[in-house]
Amino acid sequence: MMMPLIIGDLDSVPDRLEHWNAALHSLFDISTHHGQVGYLTIDEKHVLPKSTHRRAGLHVDGVFQGQSGGWGGGGWGSVGNGMLTVSSHVGCRAWNQSFDGLPGNDGECDHLAAQCSPDTETLFKANTVYWVDGLCVHESIPMHSPTKRQFVRLSMPSNAPWFDGYTVNEKGIAPTGRILPRRQFMDE
């Protein structure tokens, strides 16, 4: 989770993850931030029916303690650097629209659900790369059957905080933002 690496440099990827190099090379090709520190998340799980792989509920990833800038940068209403995401199975939907209101303290947006327009909804297809802003309103959707799902996110350069307990890159690549104490959700 949020392992620092150098975008465009496969040598910055730890050897234990080299089987991901082809996928990462494809993500690097899309990015315009070569040579800068980005953050890699790879999440693989067996997801049970009616369960979600990632965070449930309508939310944004780019808000921490009421401040924008986490997980991909940006500010409320701005594009920031964002992140590239791809998954092996459908499991997320997002809305490309403006909302009247602000996300909650940790990015929760369920209070904005009534504003979600079906005309602006995108169901993220499997094996398709999506660029999203840190303030993209989205939600994980439940699986219909038992599913082994892989999710990969390459967060672009940011000065957002990095938490003790995120994945350290054993090649010595350090995060660029301030390092904060471990968060409770990491132990759940």
> Range of 118's domain?
43-169
**Tens-level pLDDT at each residue, the chain (188 residues):** 899 999 999 999 999 999 999 999 999 988 889 999 999 999 999 999 999 999 999 998 877 666 665 444 433 344 457 889 999 999 999 999 989 988 888 889 999 999 999 999 999 999 999 998 888 899 999 999 999 999 999 998 887 778 888 999 999 999 988 888 876 555 55
Grouping H, G, I as helix, E, B as strand and the rest as coil, residue 117 is coil
For residue 12, is it within any domain?
no
For residue 114, is it within any domain?
yes
For residue 163, is it within any domain?
yes
- The whole-angstrom separation of Cα 43 and Cα 6 is 19
Enter the pTM of the model: 0.86
For residue 2, is it within any domain?
no
The tally of domains found in the chain comes to: 1
Are the C-beta atoms of 136 and 90 separated by less than 8 Å? no
